[in-house]
């Protein structure tokens, strides 16, 4: 493919309810959306998962926007004709920035697959036509408020509940939800809020029959997670720490993670995510697909990835209505706790351009030289 131009826009969408985690509270999502236009007339779409502030990851929205324009696009333009699968190698000299890399790679891959009339799901090796949905539940203002929220999701049909935890909001809310829903698959996510010295405290979560404890410690503390895994019966699952296949292999080898949350943006894209999936399948590590409060653009691609055979646990692939009153694509609707895997060309969805325009606060088009 040859890139003719890339249209960027910043969109703003309010969340249906505030989402509080150990790193902050979000009330809306500000997202960088990219549309890559090729010389032969195809357009590929993607959204950047980076948040506006570097609180979940060191990457943040405007930094991603900057590095894409300043370094990634010139490198791709000077390459001339290339395949999307070559992008990781072309961008390899630029260190880090997996979310920014995933943004440009995904849009190029979408354009290439649309040209080849192939779906992302089949390109990646999907074996399922629908995927099981979990839902990520923020830290609530009170236990009764949490109970209300979780009860609503269970009634909607979600097949797995993930509770956000932090010191001071862990044993009590988890005990309450487990008491009310003794059978529901349940897991927790701390987003790095604990210390190595909290091992004994976190081991008390063992009594609640949880699927896993997600990212309790600092993203760089692989040894700490390995030590914690020795102290808890509940499996430890890394999220923030998994930024590449190498990081996944190392964390598994050290015993720091026995389940992995594959989050395509954070891991540098769908190609690297597939490699992580393939490796985990080889070594019998279950994986599930994480989320970053994506719109339908990013969700479509996540659902395609979640249809690979190693994704044996329900992901944070919730219905559009869990996040937004109106999605930018045809909404993803849950049926009996499942989302359909898109079968159309590329990511299988297109944004509603009129709606997208109405929520765009900034735009910029970069033309190839």
In the complex, least distance from residue 189 CB atom to ligand OSB, rounded to whole angstroms: 5
Beta carbons within 8 Å of 185's beta carbon, 6+ residues apart:
134, 159, 160, 161, 211, 313, 314
**Number of Cβ atoms within 10 Å of the Cβ of 8:** 20
In the complex, least distance from residue 367 CB atom to ligand OSB, rounded to whole angstroms: 33
What is the 8-class DSSP label of residue 44? E
Write out the residues near ligand OSB by the rule CB under 6 A: 56, 136, 189, 191, 239, 290-293, 316, 318
Q: Which contiguous run of DSSP H or E holds residue 260?
A: strand 259-262
Interface characters, 224-243, with Mg ion (x: CB under 5 A): ---------------x----
Q: Is 170 in the site for Mg ion (CB under 5 A)?
A: no
In the residue annotation, 233 being an active-site residue is answered as: no
Cα–Cα distance measured from residue 311 to residue 18, given in angstroms and rounded to the nearest whole number: 28
In the complex, least distance from residue 134 CB atom to ligand OSB, rounded to whole angstroms: 8
3-class secondary-structure state, position 188: strand
Residue nearest to ligand OSB (CB): 291
Active-site residue, from 128, 263, 325, 335: 263
Cβ distance 186 to 213 under 8 Å? no
Tokens of 219: 């993203």
Residue 130: phi, psi to the nearest 5?
A: -150, 155
Closer by beta carbon to Mg ion, 110 or else 239? 239
Closer by beta carbon to ligand OSB, 290 or else 310? 290
Of the candidate residues 110, 132, 189, 294, the single one contacting Mg ion (CB under 5 A): 189
In the complex, least distance from residue 274 CB atom to ligand OSB, rounded to whole angstroms: 20
In the residue annotation, 164 being an active-site residue is answered as: yes
Active-site residue, from 164, 176, 200, 233: 164
* Strand partners for 10: 32, 362
Closer by beta carbon to ligand OSB, 59 or else 316? 316
Closer by beta carbon to ligand OSB, 189 or else 272? 189
In the complex, least distance from residue 214 CB atom to Mg ion, rounded to whole angstroms: 5
- Out of ligand OSB, Mg ion, none, what residue 269 binds, judged by CB under 5 to 8 A for its kind, is none
Cβ distance 119 to 340 under 8 Å? no
Q: Is 294 in the site for Mg ion (CB under 5 A)?
A: no
What is the 8-class DSSP label of residue 166? B
Using alpha carbons, list the distances in angstroms from residue 111 to 37, 163, 252: 8, 36, 34
Active site residues: 164, 263
Residues binding Mg ion (CB under 5 A): 189, 214, 239
């Amino acid at each position: 493919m040859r890139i003719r131009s890339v249209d960027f826009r910043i969109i703003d969408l309010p969340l249906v309810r505030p989402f509080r985690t150990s790193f902050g509270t979000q009330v809306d999502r500000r997202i960088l959306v990219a549309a890559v236009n090729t010389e032969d007339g195809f357009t590929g779409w993607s959204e950047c998962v980076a948040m506006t502030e570097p609180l979940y990851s060191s990457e943040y929205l405007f930094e991603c926007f900057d590095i894409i324009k300043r370094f990634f696009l010139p490198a791709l333009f000077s390459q001339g004709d290339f395949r999307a699968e070559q992008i990781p190698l072309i961008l390899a000299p630029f260190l880090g920035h997996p979310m920014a890399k995933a943004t440009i790679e995904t849009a190029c891959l979408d354009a290439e697959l649309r040209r080849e009339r192939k779906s992302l799901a089949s390109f990646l090796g999907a074996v399922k036509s629908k995927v099981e949905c979990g839902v990520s539940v923020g830290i609530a203002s009170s236990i009764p408020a949490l109970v209300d929220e979780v009860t609503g999701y269970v009634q909607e049909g979600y097949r797995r509940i993930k509770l956000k935890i932090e010191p001071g909001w862990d044993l009590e809310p988890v005990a309450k939800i487990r008491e009310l829903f003794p059978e529901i698959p349940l897991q927790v996510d701390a987003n790095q809020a604990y210390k190595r010295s909290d091992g004994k405290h976190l081991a008390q979560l063992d009594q609640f029959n949880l699927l896993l404890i997600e990212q309790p410690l600092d993203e760089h503390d692989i040894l700490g997670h390995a030590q914690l895994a020795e102290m808890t019966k509940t499996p430890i699952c890394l999220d923030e720490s998994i930024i590449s296949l190498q990081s996944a292999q190392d964390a598994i080898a050290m015993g720091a993670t026995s389940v992995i949350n594959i989050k395509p943006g954070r891991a540098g894209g769908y190609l690297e995510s597939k490699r992580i999936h393939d490796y985990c399948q080889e070594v019998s590590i279950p994986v599930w697909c994480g989320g970053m409060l994506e719109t339908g653009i990013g969700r479509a691609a996540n659902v395609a990835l979640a249809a690979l055979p190693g994704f044996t646990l329900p992901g944070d692939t919730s219905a559009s209505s869990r996040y937004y009153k109106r999605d930018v694509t045809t909404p993803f609707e849950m049926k009996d706790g499942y989302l359909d895997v898109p079968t159309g060309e590329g990511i299988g969805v297109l944004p509603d351009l009129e709606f997208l325009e109405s929520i765009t606060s900034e735009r910029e088009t970069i033309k190839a030289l």
